[in-house]
Structure formats: C-alpha cells, structure tokens
C-alpha cells in the first residue's frame, strides 16, 4: 500500500503494510510533521473562506449569511451547539468581531436563514464546560467575549474532516 499526503510544502509519503503505515504515521506525529500538515490544511480552509467572503462582497451578495451557512455546511455542523461554536469562530476569525452579544449571534443565524439558538447562554456555558470556549482574562467572564480554545478549534476541524 502507498499513500502520499501533501499540503503546501509539507508532504508525507507512507508505504508498506498497514502496520508499517501506522508506525510511519506515529513517527510523523512525533516529528510534528502531521501537525504541520493539518495546519496547512487549516490555513487553506481559512483562505478559501476569506476568498468566498471577498467574492461575495464583490458580487454584491449577502455575504454574511451565505458565508456563515457555507461554513456550517462545509463543516457538517448540524447540531445547534456545533453551530454556536461555528458562529463564534466565524465572528472572531472571519469578521474580526471580538464582542458578540446575543443579538449579534442571533443576527448571524437569521442572516443565514437558520433558526437562532434561543437560550444562547445555555449553549455557550455548555461549550465552556466542554473546554471548547473560554473567556479571556479581564473580560469579567462575559460570554460575549468567548473565544475558541485549541480543543474547540480541533473539534471544528474534526467535524470538517468527517
């Protein structure tokens, strides 16, 4: 069996029986090659999202709702908690918004033609309990300033690869 994975300038060549490939993957993880490969894929996804937003703006399309809906669809985020996590990611990383009260999050859902989450605090608190979100120090533990943790980003990445 032979498998080659390339993302940008990072390439992993795997060859041999299943057990040998498993060992090679373990070695790639230990050498952080696997992490670099995933980072290149993440960067490509973010660039594609930025390009989609730019193209939508230039075409005069309602970019906010369609771009957020595309994120949810591309990452297979169908459950409301995952959609809320995706909304926080979208607001922080695509729109650059650092303060998102419930009104802003609900507007994003409405712009995308998706039912808003309703009790947003409940979802945000559960995502914090799962360590997918955190509130930066100095923000008085207000959910409106929540950001994705590395675990939250990994959860979104896992959903987009599923």
Q: What is the CATH number of domain 63-162?
A: 1.10.10.10
Beta bridge pairs of residue 13:
4
pTM over 0.75: no
In angstroms, rounded to a whole number, what is the distance separating the alpha carbons of residues 112 and 26? 41
3-state SS, residue 134: strand
Question: What is the per-residue pLDDT for 106?
Answer: 92
Question: What is the per-residue pLDDT for 81?
Answer: 93
Question: What is the per-residue pLDDT for 105?
Answer: 93
Question: What is the per-residue pLDDT for 52?
Answer: 67
pLDDT digits (tens, 9 = 90+) for 9-56: 888 888 989 889 889 888 888 888 888 888 888 887 777 777 766 765
All CATH 1.10.10.10 domain ranges of the chain, comma separated, are 63-162
Question: Residues 68, 90: contact at Cβ < 8 Å?
Answer: yes
In angstroms, rounded to a whole number, what is the distance separating the alpha carbons of residues 33 and 157? 17
Question: What is the per-residue pLDDT for 5?
Answer: 84
pLDDT digits (tens, 9 = 90+) for 48-90: 777 766 765 665 545 678 888 888 888 888 999 999 999 999 9
In angstroms, rounded to a whole number, what is the distance separating the alpha carbons of residues 107 and 96? 16
In angstroms, rounded to a whole number, what is the distance separating the alpha carbons of residues 113 and 121? 21
pLDDT digits (tens, 9 = 90+) for 94-103: 888 888 888 9
pLDDT digits (tens, 9 = 90+) for 102-155: 899 999 999 899 999 988 999 999 999 999 999 988 888 788 999 999 999 888
What's the DSSP call for residue 93? I
């Amino acid at each position: 069996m032979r498998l080659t994975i390339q993302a940008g300038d990072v390439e992993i060549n795997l060859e041999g029986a299943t057990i040998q490939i498993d060992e090679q993957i373990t070695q790639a993880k230990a050498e952080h090659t696997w992490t670099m490969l995933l980072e290149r894929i993440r960067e490509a996804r973010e660039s594609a999202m930025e390009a989609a937003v730019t193209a939508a703006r230039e075409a005069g399309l309602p970019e906010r709702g369609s771009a957020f809906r595309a994120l949810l669809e591309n990452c297979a985020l169908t459950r409301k908690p995952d959609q809320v996590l995706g909304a926080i990611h979208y607001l922080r990383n695509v729109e650059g918004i650092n303060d998102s009260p419930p009104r802003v999050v609900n507007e994003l859902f409405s712009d995308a033609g998706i039912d808003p989450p309703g009790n947003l605090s409940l979802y945000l608190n559960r995502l914090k309990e799962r360590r997918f979100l955190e509130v930066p120090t100095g923000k008085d533990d207000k959910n409106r300033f929540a950001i994705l943790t590395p675990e939250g980003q990994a959860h979104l990445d896992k959903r987009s690869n599923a």
